[in-house]
Structure formats: structure tokens, C-alpha cells
Amino acid sequence: MRILVVEDEHLIANSIKKGLGQERYAVDVCYTGTDGYDLAVTEDYDLIILDLMLPGMDGLTICQKLRKKNIHIPILMLTAKGQIQDKVQGLDAGADDYLTKPFAFEELLARIRALTRRPKDSLDSILEVGDLKLDTKSFEAKRKNKIIMLSSKEFSFLEYLMRNANKILTKNQIIAHVWDYDADILTNTVEVYIKNLRRKIDKPFINSKPLIQTVRGFGYKLG
Ligand code: CA
């Protein structure tokens, strides 16, 4: 899951990046509205955390411009304390939710989970594909009730595959959603992760159908 944070207060922006990084999100940060808008239209994000007051271009304008361009990435707007009018305007401009600064990090995480949850995901944040289960809150992966140990990146990788189960994903799509902008990732890194995930989630379960499939010439599919 890859998130864009547009916030001109460096301290807030960097602490969000650090905190979300620990929660297995790939995070890009920018400090001006114009950079934020440019990244939002060129890169592939799962969510944007957007401050309202920004140099260059304000949050409302960014929101309106993205929606006008038919870009429907969930947007969580950050507003200053007590500015009810800002919240109303934010939602009118196409934001999906807002959070008042200062906020508790736990609340930010809860909002992110709510905004990135697909309708068929269960409320308790567990993703399921066949007999494979992934708890995105406790970071636990299980197949046939056997716990699978995953590294932090393997977990994010598998989460992305599970959220897009039964869809063919190209290596570039996977890179765009699992790693942040600064990460220097080659497509064969994806192959290495696929190999490791197969070793952990498919190989030990010889009586189950392998879940990770290679679609030759295109990419991979889970399911
Ligand atoms: Ca600001």
C-alpha cells in the first residue's frame, strides 16, 4: 500500500512517514501543493493524506483538480483545529474524510484502514484468499491456521497481491504500490520476493493449490 503525504510542516510530514513506515506502508512525502499535485497525477497511490493550507496550491484546489481529472484515489484531508467550514469545503471538494490536527496516530491509522478497505473486506481488517489469511492490524499471516513468518516487505507485497486477488498484476504495478519513490527497485527484485513468498505460502502446503501464479509475459496473479 503506497501513500502520498502532502504537508508543508516538515515535522508532521516526517513523523507521519516514519509512523506509517513502521506499519508497512510505502510513503512519499512532499511539502508543497504543486509537488503534491504533480506526484498525485503521475504516480500510482492507494491514498493521499492532504493538508489544507499549503504553499503553491492549497489542498482544496488539489482535491478539486484531481477529481476533475477523474482521479479517484481516496483523500484524507488534514485540517486545523475547529475549522468546521474547512471540513465542509474539503468534503465538498471531493475529499473522502478529514482529520483535525493535532491527531492521535492511532486515529490516523484507523482512518487509513477505513478508506483503503474494499467493500468485501471484513471489518476486522482480515484479508482472505482461499485458506490464506492476512491480518493487516496484527501483521499475522496464516495458511490452514499455521502461522507464516514474513518480513515487513514480504507482508506489504502479499497484502497488495491479496487486495488484488484474481487480477493480473505487472511487475511495475507491484513496484509502484509496494515501494516508495526513493526505493531503487529492479524488476528482478519482484522475482526474488515472489520466490520467497512461494517458499513460504505455497511450498509447505503440498495438499493445497498453489496461490501464486505466474502469467507468462504479463506478471503475477494470486488466487
Ligand atoms: Ca499547512
Give the domain extent around 175: 124-222
* pLDDT over 90 (residue 47): yes
* pLDDT over 80 (residue 161): yes
Lowest mean pLDDT among 19-23, 32-36, 116-120: 116-120
174 in the same domain as 109: no
Half-sphere exposure of 84 (CA within 13 A, CB side): 0
Position 115: which residue type?
Answer: L
Q: Residue 123 — pLDDT band, cuts 50, 70, 90?
A: low
CA of 81 to the centre of ligand 1 (A): 12
State the average pLDDT over residues 163-171: 94
65 in the same domain as 31: yes
* pLDDT over 80 (residue 199): yes
162 in the same domain as 104: no
Q: Give the pLDDT score at 90.
A: 84
CA of 26 to the centre of ligand 1 (A): 22
* pLDDT over 90 (residue 56): yes
The residues pairing with 212 across neighbouring beta strands, listed in sequence order, are 222
CATH number at residue 128: 1.10.10.10
Round the average pLDDT of the chain to a whole number and report it. Answer: 91
- Which of 120, 148, 169 is where one domain is finished? 120
110 in the same domain as 147: no
189 in the same domain as 142: yes
139 in the same domain as 48: no
Report how far residue 113's alpha carbon sits from residue 169's, in angstroms, rounded to the nearest whole number: 22
65 in the same domain as 132: no
115 in the same domain as 181: no
CATH number at residue 74: 3.40.50.2300
Residues near ion ligand 1 (Cβ under 5 Å) = 8, 51, 53
Q: How many domains does the chain have?
A: 2
94 in the same domain as 139: no
CA-wise closest residue to 25 among 113, 100, 107, 102: 113
- Which of 104, 120, 136 is where one domain is finished? 120
* pLDDT over 90 (residue 190): yes
Residue that is written with C-alpha cell 471484513 in the block:
122
Report how far residue 56's alpha carbon sits from residue 36's, in angstroms, rounded to the nearest whole number: 10
Q: Give the pLDDT score at 191.
A: 94
Which residues lie below 8 Å from residue 95, measured CB to CB, with a gap of 6+?
Answer: 50, 59, 63, 75, 76, 77
Q: Give the pLDDT score at 121.
A: 52
Report percent pLDDT > 90 for the chain: 75
Q: Residue 124 — pLDDT band, cuts 50, 70, 90?
A: low
146 in the same domain as 64: no
137 in the same domain as 57: no
55 in the same domain as 134: no
Q: Give the pLDDT score at 202.
A: 97
- Which of 88, 120, 152 is where one domain is finished? 120
CA of 50 to the centre of ligand 1 (A): 9
CA of 10 to the centre of ligand 1 (A): 10
CA of 78 to the centre of ligand 1 (A): 9
Report pLDDT digits (tens) over 75-111.
999 988 667 777 788 888 899 999 999 999 999 999 9
